[in-house]
Chains A and B, each alone.
Chain A
Amino acid sequence: MIDAPRIISANWDDSGAVPIDGYLARGGYEGLRRALSMSPAEVIEEVKASGLRGRGGAGFPTGVKWSFVPQDTGKPTYVVCNFDESEPGTFNNRELVEREPHQLIEGLIIAAYAVRSSAAFIYCRGEYLWPGIVLDRAISEAYERGFLGRDVMGSGYDLELVMHRGAGAYICGEETALLSSLEGFRGQPRLRPPFPAVEGLYASPTLINNVETLCFVPHILRRGAAWFAAIGTEKSPGTKMFSISGKVERPGNYELPMGTPFRVLLEDAAGGVSDGRDLKAWTPGGSSTPLLTAEHIDVPLDFESIQAAGSLLGTGAVIVMDETDCIVEATRRMVRFYAHESCGKCTPCREGTWWVSRVLARIEDGYGRPEDLPLLDDVASKILFRAFCALADGAVSPIQSSLKHFRAEYEQHIAEHRCPFTGRGPGAPTVAEAPEETREPEPIAISEVLR
């Protein structure tokens, strides 16, 4: 196994870390104690100096984000923790909460103190019924012991924390959609600027942080910025939770220093590709990040290196496909997700993801046409960067990257009129019609639309 320091998953083998007494016995809330002995500005400086970058996907420096929250606006300041984890392949927030809920709560209290907020929310994914219960119990414990509510740890600082459950919508992981949902509306993204730091929840200054990001905060306060900055790489300090799934021997969450080569995650941590097969493709950061291939097995897992390899670190969610997996089918499945989860606000996303889904299904089913490949290129390029949020861009990633690395496989589907992996499809040129779901729809009478 790997001999690397674990920070936020250090207590995972120890179920005693769930209740507050166990957490306190393991040094819990010491980071908060230190934070409360500092000024809010000093806390922000400490987090800035650590170089911690947001783990929700964008990698924005956390301390800098905190410093953007304006003070003295005459409005309340809110802190919202994004626990709407739903990027396909990502499952580290769930386990962080299930195994050590107070670590998140402590990080959230420190963040709220730093931006001088007295009201915080955790937006918990609806489907996370059990993790939500674990978190709810932990919040009650924190109130009982004086870490939440009036006069936190006798410091004179007050903070109320409310857990809010979502109801099944991937888009609510997008920060402005999350805020709309928390305000009681459909979860649709808003135009930025204004950014949430200035006009977020209830049009007030709002800090939004991801679960994993906040989990690092107590440790940075307890052990100092310099300790954290020395781990990982210079530009991507610290460790990162990597969720690895799909065709590997030991799928799971593994905490590794930033900059660890993918080979170490795949072979040493996850036990290699299932059944000794060959690696074919992998997503470095969830299904919305461009696919990489076996060629990239030695790429270091950090923001800069993954970007240099043509993809994004995203949430660190690695989905592994082996030599027996069909890339067209995998892409079809990934893109269908985005078509399903499009909130419908922006036309390029709502219509574009729907169309490319149908084209991909047609190719996979053996009814593809040679002109479908330039069509995919064309539609994908017209979706990219043309919507309010990045959801539609997430659908473009698997399309463009699979066409780049595996174009021959698409061409084979079209030339052979079937999927070379499953054998499904007519297998010969045919005048027969494609299955209904891949056919282009008949025009709909306007009277039907208005009915």
Chain B
Amino acid sequence: MPVLTPELRERAEEIKRRYPAGRERSAMLPLLYLVQSEQGSVTEEGLREVADLLGLWTAEVEAVASFYTMLRLRPTGAHVVSVCTNLSCALRGARAVLDAATREAGLAPGQETSEDGLITVHEEECLGACDAAPIVQVDFANHDRVTPEGVAELIDRLRRGEVPAPSRGSAPRDFAHASRILAGLEDPR
């Protein structure tokens, strides 16, 4: 089963044309985001499809995909809640925020995605928003100065199918939609 529709294959060719002729391999990351946006994670078939688009071996594509934390090679929740626990956030209580997120999502130690497949909680390194510590991203949209109660509420709203408004800009609908934006296919106006 191909991952991309004929229309998306066409968009994939456009993505390749962003780069100089003969340098299409540079489209690796946007193409991986593209297959991730269709399936919610990068699957075996997704890797094969990118390999086919770039004329590479699947192993070459997997070698790249496995290097980057935003490309998810494992089953992933419809929403990814990232909690920064790096120093600036840790000094302002990030550990309690992460614990609250884990508890609210109902995750056992070591478990990253909720049983219903809705929420993945990810302990994140510095997200470059230390002025608003502790920082949480929901599908890569920033939520500033989040408390343990705040993160629980965010997760609760995700469960109810809402898209919580981020502190700045607009939010993607879910992780797959965020991946589509990251592939450069969409501007969520």
Bound pair (A, B): yes
Where the two chains meet, the residues of A that have a C-beta atom closer than 8 Å to any C-beta of B are 76, 85-91, 93-94, 98, 119, 125-130, 132-134, 136-137, 162-170, 181-187, 202, 243, 245-247, 251-253, 287, 317, 319, 321, 325, 330, 333-334, 337, 340-341, 343
Q: A186 vs B32: C-alpha distance in the bound complex, in angstroms?
A: 13
B92 interface residue (CB < 8 Å to A): yes
Q: A52 vs B85: C-alpha distance in the bound complex, in angstroms?
A: 34
Q: A126 vs B69: C-alpha distance in the bound complex, in angstroms?
A: 10
- Ordered by A's residue number, 18 sampled pairs between the chains whose C-beta atoms are within 8 Å are A89-B87, A89-B126, A90-B126, A119-B20, A127-B124, A127-B137, A133-B170, A165-B30, A165-B182, A166-B70, A167-B70, A184-B29, A251-B131, A251-B132, A287-B87, A319-B91, A319-B130, A325-B91
B103 interface residue (CB < 8 Å to A): no
Contact assessment for B128 and A127 in the assembled complex, using a CB-CB cutoff below 8 Å: yes
Residue of A90, A130, A133, A164 contacting most chain B CB atoms (<10 Å):
A130
Q: Which of B33, B82, B91 contacts A165 (CB 8 A)?
A: B33
Q: Give 12 A-B pairs besides A126-B140, A136-B184, A167-B182 with Cβ atoms closer than 8 angstroms.
A: A76-B20, A126-B68, A126-B182, A130-B141, A132-B182, A185-B64, A245-B131, A246-B88, A247-B91, A287-B87, A333-B85, A334-B87
**Known A163-B184, A165-B182, A245-B88; contact A129-B28, beta-carbon cutoff 8 A:** no
**Known A245-B130, A325-B91; contact A333-B67, beta-carbon cutoff 8 A:** no
Total A-B Cβ pairs within 8 A? 160
Least distance between A284 CB and chain B CB atoms (Å): 14
Question: Count the B residues whose beta carbon is within 8 Å of the partner chain — how many?
Answer: 53
Contact assessment for B131 and A243 in the assembled complex, using a CB-CB cutoff below 8 Å: yes
On chain B, the residues within 8 Å of A162 by CB distance are 18-19
Contact assessment for A251 and B20 in the assembled complex, using a CB-CB cutoff below 8 Å: no
On chain A, the residues within 8 Å of B75 by CB distance are none
**Known A130-B141, A130-B142, A184-B28; contact A319-B88, beta-carbon cutoff 8 A:** yes
B55-93 toward A: CB 8 Å interface, digit per residue (1/0)? 000000001100111110000000000100111101110
B47 interface residue (CB < 8 Å to A): no
On chain B, the residues within 8 Å of A88 by CB distance are 86-88, 125-126, 130
Q: A158 vs B100: C-alpha distance in the bound complex, in angstroms?
A: 53
B12 interface residue (CB < 8 Å to A): no
Contact assessment for A133 and B169 in the assembled complex, using a CB-CB cutoff below 8 Å: yes
Q: Which of A98, A129, A321 contacts B181 (CB 8 A)?
A: A129
Contact assessment for A128 and B128 in the assembled complex, using a CB-CB cutoff below 8 Å: yes
On chain A, the residues within 8 Å of B71 by CB distance are 167-168
